């Protein structure tokens, strides 16, 4: 037998790091799996669900994930053990959130999924005895949504404020980082502003690039309704990698900012979709179709060109030099959204920051995807170590 034949057979026996060939479907499956360390997903349930989904089939995706969501709800109702019941409700929340992801914003199934993911989230926290408080903040013609999670001993540590991005939900932020932060003794404040999920659905409030405005309104309200924190660290997720630094540039109450993932120039990320959406050969690809449809929804536009044009002000160029606190930049070498060149652009522009640290995760060590999906414990260890070094 030839040596090349032996090597080929050995290679065929290796595992596969991909959940779908299509990057968008792979990424979203990995996203829900990332909730597993926080107890909000079960690996076997998700792996079984995706066996029923042809990639690119939004209806099959909804059917598969809504099915395991319903099973989790039924399990929660049948559990005598409160902890098991609460965890089943948390999984149901994550599966409903995932189920609706690829549906059109006008699809009536999204209303069902939205109501059930929120109710399961609340009931799950209540069943598990997790202290939290929902509140709203008057802003322009509507209200911002926020959730405050208190921790034992949290007054002696900086308040962790978490902002989502282009497509996340307010509740999802708890499982991405909030739960682990609270367990380490940090008070956590999560919020959503214009353009983000609840505000688009319920108030038709679309994205604005001046993110310091909703963030400052939130911090003003929090100081009056709860207490004025001694120190504040703002973590921005995905597009939040632009939003959080933008807010920190104009609000000196923010002592530290974490760009998770880097997003120095959102327009540069979105610009390729102009041509992709205009090309009959690429416009129906899952990643292109979803990005443009969601972009039009959250920016309040009608066409791909209008959506991309609306992102032009979303750059930290000319803004980064106003940031005075500590900055942590995270990135993945296999990020399919944001090029690694944006790490250097952002770091070089932070000329007045108290400190700048950047971490790039590799394929070999894990965390190479956008927002380090699938490597929650890896990137969280980076962040918590940084918090201890910079804020004690």
β-bridge partners, 192: 145
Check residue 14 and give its pLDDT.
Answer: 87
Q: For 6, phi and psi rounded to 5 degrees?
A: -60, -45
Check residue 13 and give its pLDDT.
Answer: 78
For 131-265+314-391, CATH number out of 3.40.50.2300, 3.40.50.1820, 3.30.56.10, 3.40.50.300 equals 3.40.50.1820
Q: How many CA atoms lie within 13 A of 153 on its CB side?
A: 5
User: How crowded is residue 332: how many other Cβ atoms within 10 Å of its Cβ?
Assistant: 26
The token pair at 268 is 């540069």
Beta strand 326-332 with 256-260 is parallel
Residues 7-66: pLDDT tens digits? 555 556 789 989 999 999 999 999 999 999 999 999 999 999 999 999 999 999 999 999
β-bridge partners, 159: 232
DSSP state of 345: H
Report the helix count and the strand count for the chain, using DSSP H and E: 17, 8
Q: For 256, phi and psi rounded to 5 degrees?
A: -145, 150
The token pair at 74 is 């039924």
Q: Domain extents for the chain?
A: 23-120, 131-265+314-391
Helix (H) or strand (E) holding 51: none
In sequence order, what E strands does 61-141 have? 133-139
CB burial of 246-259 (b: ≥16 within 10 Å; e: otherwise) equals bbbbbbebbbbbbb
- Please, are residues 239 and 371 in contact by the beta-carbon 8 Å criterion? no
The rounded distance, in Å, linking the Cα atoms of 122 and 86 is: 10
Closest listed residue to residue 373, CA positions, set 25, 23, 28, 31: 31
Q: What average pLDDT is seen over the chain?
A: 96
- CATH code given to domain 23-120: 1.20.1440.110
The rounded distance, in Å, linking the Cα atoms of 115 and 103 is: 15
The rounded distance, in Å, linking the Cα atoms of 50 and 58 is: 12
Residues 67-114: pLDDT tens digits? 999 999 999 999 999 999 999 999 999 999 999 999 999 999 999 999
How do the pLDDT tens digits run along the chain, 392 residues long? 455 554 555 556 789 989 999 999 999 999 999 999 999 999 999 999 999 999 999 999 999 999 999 999 999 999 999 999 999 999 999 999 999 999 999 999 999 999 999 999 999 999 999 999 999 999 999 999 999 999 988 788 999 999 999 999 999 999 999 999 999 999 999 999 999 999 999 999 999 999 999 999 999 999 999 999 999 999 999 999 999 999 999 999 999 999 999 999 999 999 999 999 999 999 999 999 999 999 999 999 999 999 999 999 999 999 999 999 999 999 999 999 999 999 999 999 999 999 999 999 999 989 999 999 999 999 999 999 999 999 98
pTM: 0.95
Closest listed residue to residue 328, CA positions, set 222, 224, 235: 235
The token pair at 248 is 């920190």
- Please, are residues 259 and 266 in contact by the beta-carbon 8 Å criterion? no
């Amino acid at each position: 037998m030839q040596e090349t034949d032996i090597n080929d057979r050995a290679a065929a026996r290796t595992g596969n790091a991909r959940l779908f060939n299509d990057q968008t479907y792979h990424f979203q499956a990995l996203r829900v799996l990332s909730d597993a360390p926080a107890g909000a997903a079960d690996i076997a349930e998700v792996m079984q669900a995706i066996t029923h989904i042809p990639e690119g089939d939004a209806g099959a995706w909804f059917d598969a994930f809504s099915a395991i969501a319903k099973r989790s709800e039924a399990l929660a109702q049948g559990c005598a053990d409160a902890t098991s019941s609460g965890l089943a409700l948390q999984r149901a929340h994550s599966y409903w959130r995932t189920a609706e992801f690829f549906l059109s914003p006008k699809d009536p199934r999204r209303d069902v999924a939205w109501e059930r993911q929120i109710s399961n989230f609340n009931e799950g926290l209540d069943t598990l005895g997790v202290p939290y408080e929902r509140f709203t903040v008057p802003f322009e013609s509507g209200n911002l949504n926020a959730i405050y999670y208190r921790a034992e001993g949290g007054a002696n540590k900086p308040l962790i404020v978490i902002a989502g991005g282009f497509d996340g939900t307010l509740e999802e932020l708890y499982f991405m980082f909030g739960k682990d932060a609270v367990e380490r003794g940090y008070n956590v404040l999560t919020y959503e502003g214009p353009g983000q999920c609840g505000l688009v659905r319920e108030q038709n409030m679309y994205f604005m690039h001046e993110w310091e405005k909703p963030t400052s309104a939130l911090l003003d309200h929090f100081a009056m309704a709860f207490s004025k924190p001694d120190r504040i660290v703002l973590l921005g997720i995905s597009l939040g990698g632009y939003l959080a630094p933008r807010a920190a540039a104009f609000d000196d109450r923010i002592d530290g900012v974490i760009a998770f993932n880097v997003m120095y120039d959102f327009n540069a990320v979105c610009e390729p979709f102009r041509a992709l959406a205009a090309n009959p050969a690429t416009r129906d690809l899952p990643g292109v179709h979803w990005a443009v449809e969601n972009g039009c929804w959250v920016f309040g536009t009608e066409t791909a060109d209008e959506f991309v044009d609306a992102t032009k002000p979303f750059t930290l160029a000319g803004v980064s030099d106003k940031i005075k606190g500590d900055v942590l930049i995270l990135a993945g070498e296999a990020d399919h959204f944001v090029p690694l060149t944006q790490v250097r652009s952002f770091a070089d522009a932070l000329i007045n920051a108290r400190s700048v640290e950047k971490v790039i995760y590799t394929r070999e060590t894990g965390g190479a995807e956008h927002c380090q999906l699938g490597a929650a414990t890896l990137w969280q260890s980076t962040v918590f170590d940084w918090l201890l070094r910079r804020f004690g």
